[in-house]
Amino acid sequence: MANTTTSPLATYLAHLEKNELAYQFSPSANAAVFYPRVISPTTGHADLVWRVSKGLGTVHATTVVHPQQGEPYNVALIDVDEGFRMMSRVEEIAPTAVKIGMRVTFRVHPGHDDEPPYPVFVPAEDV
């Protein structure tokens, strides 16, 4: 019988399609793991379990990219409350208005054409 195990990336993308920010947790390391993997990068154990984030985080670092063509945009490192950091961007405000320490909340940006959906953040209301 063929191996029907779903890849970690496919599982992650399936959660995004349901508007969920999924991450893995390693019981052997007692730590969140992000980006999706097959084994824990800390312990090497294959004990990873899937969890769904509440979607709240804090901007750890940010920069504004000024492409030769097109509008400027920000790239940010987000410390998600569940204990992992991810690269993304903050939308719905000017790129220069994104500040370190700003609270943000997750949302899914739909992919275009053959692109999969991807996570972005927006400023958190009162959290």
Domain for residue 111, yes or no? Answer: yes
CA-CA distance, 47 to 87, in Å (whole number)? Answer: 25
pLDDT at position 41 over 50: yes
Indicate the pLDDT class of residue 1, thresholds 50, 70 and 90.
very low
Residue for token digits 């940006």? 109
Residue 16 lies in a domain: yes
What's the pLDDT at 114? Answer: 86
Q: pLDDT tens digits, residue range 54-104?
A: 999 999 999 999 999 999 999 999 999 999 999 999 999 999 999 999 999
Closest alpha carbon to 5 in 38, 40, 29, 28? 38
Please list the residues that pair with 78 across neighbouring strands.
59, 86
Partners of residue 7 on adjacent β-strands: none
Q: Is the pTM of this model over 0.85?
A: yes
Q: Is residue 1 part of a domain?
A: no
Domain membership of residue 27 (yes or no) is yes
Phi, psi of 125 (to 5 degrees): -75, -145
Mean pLDDT of the chain: 92
Residue 3 lies in a domain: no
What domain count does the chain have? 1
Task: Give the end-to-end CA distance of the chain in Å, rounded to a whole number.
Answer: 49
CATH number of the domain where residue 23 is located: 2.40.50.840
- Structural domain including 45 reads 8-123
pLDDT classification of 111: cutoffs 50, 70, 90: confident
Q: Which two tokens stand for residue 120?
A: 């972005």
Give the integer Cα–Cα distance in Å for 64 and 45: 38
Cα separation, 96 vs 32, whole angstroms:
30
Mean pLDDT value across residues 28-53:
93
